[in-house]
Structure 1
Amino acid sequence: MLYKALLGQATMEMVSKLLASDLQYWFHGPPQCQHMMKVLTGETDHKKGFKFEPRSVTSIHDCVRTEGWEGQAYWVHVWTLKNGLITQFREYFNTWLVVKDLRPSRWEDHKQDSMILWRSQPPDLYCRSFPGLVVLAI
């Protein structure tokens, strides 16, 4: 519903009903790429700004991870949900992202790689370099 609204198929009123009033926002990437913040604050009209068209959406525990590619910009969003509302939003632009589950394991032979829940897959990974690796622990 959120991305449909942002793609111009609904109103910002619909978007605001999905967000907690005390939404936490965190951004990693070039400052000029803070497109979602501009849309959520009303600085940019959601029908005229950056088009967030997800190529994948995956649920991980109480988070939703969305990945997209818009020409020259690769992005990942991680939404944390509580009681059906988005309470935290993390936005990553043109960077690699690894999502790890850092909860203590019950298994003694727990290996580091088994903690990885997801790795970003930029479509042009080998054609250019991305800034360092960002690890998101959930």
Structure 2
Amino acid sequence: KASTSSVYPALESERPPPDLANGSRGGGVARLESPEVVVVRELYEAINARDVAKLHRLLKPHLEWRFHGPPKHQHLKRLLTGEEETIAFKFEPQEVAAFGSTVVAEGCGLGALWVHAWTVEPEGVITQVREYFNTSLTVARVGADSPASSSDDHDRSTHCLPVWQSRLHRRARKSLPGLVLAI
């Protein structure tokens, strides 16, 4: 079994402290996590504990799931469907960030880097996951430059503002294909 420290030794020494619900970094003011982040953190706890009842409460029955990466890394699918898993993969996010209803989590394990983008409804139910293995992800917010002042759509220009980007692959000094997730 490969460990994070043997495959990516730089990650062990440079890993930032985890964000806690009431924690703070560097002696700053404590901040509360968004309800969407709390739901996603609860989901990872339930996945790793194999708590099926909690998973059923947190996930929509017909979860939309998209996977980008090598098929051998479909660990989340196997865990959520109860399929036999030949290796004990644990999802332990090292970074979690929310952008409205989209929550992005990034971590690594067993020689692979992963990013999940979850969609959380206001009621606290997860409706969609986009999973990326060994892929660098940039999350960008797409919007109009200014409020609609014209009825002509062709007069309005749109821009794509990056709001989050994968970081673990840089510390691991690993080159990966890149994708942009527009929200």
- Shorter-chain-normalised TM-score: which range? 0.7 to 0.9
Shift of 1:123: 4.5
1:79-105 Cα shifts (integer Å, max 9, x gaps): 001121000011000111000001223
Question: Percent identity among equivalent residues?
Answer: 39
The aligned amino acid for 1:127 is R
Structure having the larger proportion of residues in strand:
1
SS of the equivalent of 2:168 reads: coil
Structure 1 residues 91-100 or 62-71, which shifts more? 62-71
Contact 2:97 2:105 in 1 (8 A): yes
SS of the equivalent of 2:138 reads: strand
> Is structure 2 residue 170 aligned with structure 1 residue 129?
no
1:24 to 39, 64, 68: 64
> Is structure 2 residue 80 aligned with structure 1 residue 40?
yes
> Hey, what's the Cα distance between the residues in 1 that align with 2:179 and 2:157?
26
> Hey, what's the Cα distance between the residues in 2 that align with 1:121 and 1:93?
13
CA RMSD of aligned residues (A): 2.3
Aligned residue for 1:120? 166
> Is structure 2 residue 57 aligned with structure 1 residue 12?
no
Shift of 1:49: 3.1
Q: Unpaired segments of 5 or more residues in structure 2?
A: 1-41, 148-155
Larger Rg: 2
Aligned residue for 1:51? 90
Contact 1:98 1:136 in 2 (8 A): yes
Shift of 1:13: 1.3
> Hey, what's the Cα distance between the residues in 1 that align with 2:60 and 2:130?
14
Aligned residue for 2:11? none
Aligned residue for 1:86? 126
> Hey, what's the Cα distance between the residues in 2 that align with 1:126 and 1:19?
32
Change (3 A) 1:41 1:111: closer
SS of the equivalent of 2:137 reads: strand
Shift of 1:128: 2.7
Structure having the larger proportion of residues in helix:
2
> Is structure 2 residue 81 aligned with structure 1 residue 3?
no
Normalising by the residue count of structure 2, what TM-score does the alignment of the two structures yield?
Answer: 0.65
Contact 1:39 1:49 in 2 (8 A): no
Shift of 1:127: 3.0
Alignment length, in residue pairs? Answer: 132
SS of the equivalent of 1:90 reads: strand
> Hey, what's the Cα distance between the residues in 2 that align with 1:110 and 1:22?
33
Normalising by the residue count of structure 1, what TM-score does the alignment of the two structures yield?
Answer: 0.84
